Structure 1
Amino acid sequence: MVSQNGIKYAVHIVSTNFGDLVAKVCECLLRRGPLTYQNIARSTEISLPQVKNCLLLLIQHNCVQAFSLEPAGDAADLSKPINTKYIALFDNIIHRTRFSKFIAVVSEELDKECVELFQGLLQHGRLSLKKMIDRAKSGRDDCAVEDTIRGNLAKLLDSRFVERCPAGEAVLSPPAEEGTGARKRGAKSSKIVAKSITIEERILDAAAPMEAKRFLFTTDADCKKTSENSSEVLGGEKRKYDSLESERETSADDSHVPWRVNFEEFLHRFRHKACVENVRERLDGGAAIALSAMLEATRSMEKKVKSDKTVPLSINTIYEEVMKKEAGRSMTLDHLRASLALLGCERGSNDLYMIDLKAIIKHAQTEEVEAIVLKRYGRDAYRIFRLLMKTGRLQETDKISGTAFVDKKETPKILYHLWKDEFLHMEKVIVTTPRQLQFLLWKVNRSTLWPHLLDEMYHTALNLCQRVAYELEQENEILNLPPHKRVGPLEERFTRLRNVRMLLDASLMRLDDALMLFHDF
């Protein structure tokens, strides 16, 4: 469930990129959930053609997914019209603010031409190979351009920065059938399914291409090989000929297959980087090198972003990966074992090592919250909050004061302030012994504090974006002036605007790292 400030932030992003009309349609979907385009038109009071155009634009840029329910019942029911619904993809909308981070990652690994192709996909949302080639040619008839684009696309797919687009309309099986299936599997499995899968996840799973085809791309060499093989087929080998014909048709259609940026791959990398940096600061460089090597070796085997643990690896496999990096060549096998022990690696019976990534993320989140408390409420509040985070249970006011070494008169004020701002949970306990006494008990409740902080972060991000827009609007006249006319006071105003924008953009980037830590990781 997206918070109110999260919705406002997403709507602002859409409005900035595509205009107010598209933002209105997107806001309707974010607030009301999946709707048909007729219901969107009724809710927003926008004409049907305009709603269709807005939805097509949002689908093109991966912000909305269409889906429908598979008809249930007898064949007679199949004649009924199927209503297509649309759901807004909140995460993909927020990813639009991270395009510069994505480009930086691609620039580190691939060449400039690949980066340009990648930027085209970010700009247009979805592109087929034919459209990529047309954009690159720009009116000139150059056969080398086509080969270059094919090669660059293959490189992006090998790195998993790009993937095939999902189906234009996902088809979900009816709830009744799914419920029956769940009951057949047993009560335990049905509880797991009901608890873990949301409607959005079901839709995305149904729309996603098969894993075997997700990064599949036929190059010219493959096409040539298929053609040569087909010419060598003997007259009696009909089955083999049909198979090659099918492969040739698939390769011919590759020019019209739509491709898009694979956001999931970047989240994998950002999560790995956050884990490594947290370990480096909290433990030491050797532990960070060991963790980085394990994550690098198992990246292609990770099935989801929020994986709890790394894939099990032997000590020799980890050491081989460590030796690939200059920083790890000075490590001995004993040093690596000590670093893995420092990381708290789980060692299985078959001598394989695993690291609890979920625990590292939890540490990073805790440190981020503690830093917020320290900056906002001071050192005494920080000690109290950290004590309650470590204990994880209800604590009485006087006991908190004594353990955290905070003045008894100040402790209730600090606790009340933190409770008022929703950082603490409070319970009153009344004891009726010789005389009636009331005790206040306090604790940190992660299940309510984390969503509250995330909502605050969305609110802050929205404020920063609006402040940037305000500054640009105020100095629009200066921005439109040619550089040689910016002299004296005008030059000072331009310098101030540049410095303010750099500061706000840097703050927004750091805040986005915290958003990913609490929402995506």
Structure 2
Amino acid sequence: MVSQHGILYAVHLITNQFGNLVAKVCECLLRNGALTLQAIVRRTELSPAKVRNCLLVLIQHNCAQAFILEESVSGEDAGEPGKALTQYIALFVNILHRVRFSKFMDVVSKELGGSCGELFRGLLEHGRLTVKQIVDRAGANAKESTNTVQEDLGKLVMAHYVECCPAPEPLVPPPDADTKKRAKSSKVMVEPLTLEQRVMAVAMPSAMRRFSFVPNADQVADDQQNVNQPPSKDVGEKRKLHDLESDTALEEEVECNWRANFEELLRRLRHKTCVDTIKVRFDDAAATVLSAMLEASRAEEDKVKTANSVPLSLNTIYEEVVKNEKNHSMTFDHVRTCLEELSCPPTFVKTDDESYSIDFTKITEAAQSEEIESIVLKRFGETAYKIFRLLFRAGCLMETDKIADRIFAEKKETSKTLFKMWQDGYLLMELLVLCKHLNILPPAIKCYCICRNWLWAVQTGPSYGGSSYLLWKVNKRLLRETILDEMFHAALNLNLRLAHEIDQNKEVLNLPPDKREGPDKQKFDRLRNVRLLIHSSLMKLDDAIMLFHDF
């Protein structure tokens, strides 16, 4: 579920880029989930034409997805019982990606060069483009030849930075009943897929078609003429999804629109975060070895999507390390020593039969812990920082006096800090009531000696001649959700502050540069500094949001 501030932040981003009407439709989808066109019209009180245009804008820019549920549709949103209707769902993750376009551009430009980066910029700006539209846009901007543009597009597709768009209206089957039974009977908790995940899993084309591109403009033009020939079906008859199986691969290629592959771009940013985390915790040599492992396992990572990278032998890792001229001084024993350091607790690299694999979950959790501890230190002070580190690493309930003794602090100050952190949602509190005469208690009260309603326990516990103890704990999952919601809130406030500053200085911005003198120039310089500071803060804050939400 998307938090309240997460929805407000996403709606603000859509408002800034596409206007109030599109944002209103997007907010309706974010708050209510999947809806039909008629349901959106009722809830937004907009005309069907306006809602349809807003949905087209969201779909064009990969912020929404249309789909059809396989089971029969009934209820107030259905036109006829048993008739499947097209529904629309907002893609919250893709909306957040719109803030990261500059980061994505930097990744592509550094690896593939400026020409590929400029081509990639067009896909980020326009959402989805055909090959012809990509060629026309690149030719109009840089006067490049068609072959050069298609070669650059081929490089982007081969690197998996660009992919074929998902199906426009996929048929989504109901959740597998056998999967539900296995999840219930399994000892390991398995979270069921959300509707958004199910829709996108069905909508995405096969790997062969997803990253298949033939850079031949003349051939594409000839094939387009063949595709435009009259179809064998009668005019007006709808194409069924199973009819797509009879289409040729060439027709699929011509009909395909292309878009940025956010999944691969996020993977690259996650790799960078992992390397930076290891560099801070260990040294540059360990970060170099980890970076080499990431590069060596990149080709297989798409095939094996697990929490760990594919296993690599020590020889393979060493060969990848020395490929870079800067690392020629590293010896075989030095690489082995770095791997042994990374394999020690906390285990960032797992070993098995002389092979090594990266545990992304451990590295991400370590980076999250450092981020949370930094927030606690800045927000609550050094005493709270010590308390949080103790409880976070203990992972169990601890009594107030014991916490005070472990951190060498006064009980009064410890209690005050604990209550402050509890009120802000950083800690969980339990009250343990110990009664001297349990036999005189009613059975119902016996069962709740450890109760969550601590006010009731404090009032009734002493009446039975017992004593009570406050116990404290860090719930890591709830804490991450709390931190993430606060980050969304902070990002929204920064965006609102930036909009306010720009609105207050419209007159100065509209002045020509040669007429900005005296007070006007001072206002313009101040606004420029404020904008740079806010943009820098937003980029750093978005790095933290990715760490808690996307990695």
Alignment TM-score, normalising by the size of structure 1: 0.88
C-alpha distance in 2, partners of 1:367/1:4? Answer: 25
Contact 1:347 1:353 in 2 (8 A): yes
Contact 1:163 1:261 in 2 (8 A): yes
Instruction: Report the residue type matching 1:493 in the other structure.
Output: K
C-alpha distance in 2, partners of 1:103/1:297? Answer: 23
**Aligned: 1:497 with 2:527:** yes
C-alpha distance in 2, partners of 1:381/1:199? Answer: 40
Q: Post-superposition shift, 1:335? A: 1.0
Worse overlay, 90-99 or 472-481: 472-481
- Name the counterpart of 1:346: 350
C-alpha distance in 2, partners of 1:410/1:480? Answer: 54
Question: Which runs of 5 or more structure 2 residues have no equivalent in the other structure?
Answer: 74-79, 224-244, 344-348, 438-464
- Name the counterpart of 2:301: 302
Contact 1:65 1:89 in 2 (8 A): yes
Instruction: Give the aligned length.
Output: 491
C-alpha distance in 1, partners of 2:410/2:376? Answer: 18
2:84 aligned residue (78, 82, 85): 82
Instruction: Report the residue type matching 2:51 in the other structure.
Output: V
Report the CA distance shift for 1:32/1:186 in structure 2 as closer, same or farther (over 3 A): closer
- Name the counterpart of 1:363: 366
Instruction: Report the residue type matching 1:66 in the other structure.
Output: A
C-alpha distance in 1, partners of 2:520/2:130? Answer: 46
Worse overlay, 129-138 or 432-441: 432-441
C-alpha distance in 2, partners of 1:441/1:189? Answer: 32
**Aligned: 1:433 with 2:436:** yes
Report the CA distance shift for 1:306/1:377 in structure 2 as closer, same or farther (over 3 A): farther
- Name the counterpart of 2:459: none
Pairs within 5 Å for 1:357-436: 357-433=360-436, 435-436=465-466
Report the CA distance shift for 1:194/1:275 in structure 2 as closer, same or farther (over 3 A): closer
Contact 2:427 2:474 in 1 (8 A): yes
Q: Post-superposition shift, 1:111? A: 2.4
- Name the counterpart of 2:65: 65
Report the CA distance shift for 1:139/1:302 in structure 2 as closer, same or farther (over 3 A): closer
Instruction: Report the residue type matching 2:350 in the other structure.
Output: E
1:105 aligned residue (95, 101, 107): 107
Question: Which runs of 5 or more structure 1 residues have no equivalent in the other structure?
Answer: 228-245
- Name the counterpart of 2:204: 208
C-alpha distance in 1, partners of 2:397/2:57? Answer: 51
Q: Post-superposition shift, 1:327? A: 3.8
Pairs within 5 Å for 1:239-254: 250-251=249-250, 254=253
Contact 1:129 1:256 in 2 (8 A): no
Report the CA distance shift for 1:174/1:395 in structure 2 as closer, same or farther (over 3 A): closer
Pairs within 5 Å for 1:328-339: 328-339=327-338
2:120 aligned residue (118, 121, 124): 118
C-alpha distance in 1, partners of 2:504/2:218? Answer: 56
Report the CA distance shift for 1:123/1:448 in structure 2 as closer, same or farther (over 3 A): same
Q: Post-superposition shift, 1:85? A: 0.2
The one-character-per-residue Cα deviations of 1:473-518 (angstroms, maximum 9, x if unpaired) are 1111111111111111111111100000100110110000000000
C-alpha distance in 2, partners of 1:262/1:222? Answer: 26
1:330 is paired with a residue whose SS is coil
The one-character-per-residue Cα deviations of 1:169-223 (angstroms, maximum 9, x if unpaired) are 1111245xx32x548x967789989734111111001000101111110123996
Identical-pair percentage: 51
Instruction: Report the residue type matching 1:168 in the other structure.
Output: P
1:428 is paired with a residue whose SS is strand
Q: Post-superposition shift, 1:113? A: 1.9
Report the CA distance shift for 1:187/1:367 in structure 2 as closer, same or farther (over 3 A): closer
Q: Post-superposition shift, 1:138? A: 3.4
Q: Post-superposition shift, 1:307? A: 3.8
Report the CA distance shift for 1:306/1:390 in structure 2 as closer, same or farther (over 3 A): farther
Report the CA distance shift for 1:190/1:197 in structure 2 as closer, same or farther (over 3 A): farther
Q: Post-superposition shift, 1:122? A: 0.7
C-alpha distance in 2, partners of 1:191/1:148? Answer: 55
Report the CA distance shift for 1:249/1:392 in structure 2 as closer, same or farther (over 3 A): closer
Report the CA distance shift for 1:327/1:488 in structure 2 as closer, same or farther (over 3 A): same
C-alpha distance in 2, partners of 1:406/1:98? Answer: 43
Alignment TM-score, normalising by the size of structure 2: 0.84
- Name the counterpart of 1:483: 513
Q: Post-superposition shift, 1:137? A: 3.4
Pairs within 5 Å for 1:176-191: 178-179=176-177, 182=179
2:191 is paired with a residue whose SS is helix
Contact 1:130 1:256 in 2 (8 A): no
1:95 is paired with a residue whose SS is helix
C-alpha distance in 1, partners of 2:299/2:218? Answer: 23
The one-character-per-residue Cα deviations of 1:345-395 (angstroms, maximum 9, x if unpaired) are 32213x211222211111110110000010111111111111111111111
Worse overlay, 122-131 or 324-333: 324-333
